[in-house]
């Protein structure tokens, strides 16, 4: 059956159960903010959350100054 043939209430019920779609990340890590190296996963070490993915840096496209302010290490 086609989606648009369902009553609005049924479409809402189905969509409410779909959860969150893919977030589009390739890598997620927690690193030491000074060295950029991954921290131990021991529940004690603190670090900076870093993300890598196709939608993470869209605001920095063709903005080398903005990119250099936020990117660390080898960028």
Domain parsing of the chain, residue ranges? 21-70
| Local structure of 7: helix, strand or coil | coil
Q: Cβ of 14: how many Cβ atoms within 10 Å?
A: 11
Confidence of residue 17 (pLDDT cuts 50, 70, 90): low
pLDDT tops 70 at residue 22: no
d(CA 68, CA 60): 9
What is the model's pLDDT at position 55?
66
What is the model's pLDDT at position 60?
72
């Amino acid at each position: 059956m086609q989606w648009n043939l369902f009553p609005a209430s049924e479409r809402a019920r189905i969509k409410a159960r779909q959860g969150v779609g893919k977030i589009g990340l390739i890598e997620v890590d927690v690193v030491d903010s000074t060295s950029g190296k991954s921290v131990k996963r021991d529940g004690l070490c603190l670090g900076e959350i870093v993300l890598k993915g196709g939608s993470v840096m869209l605001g920095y496209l063709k903005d080398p100054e903005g990119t250099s302010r936020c990117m660390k290490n080898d960028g």
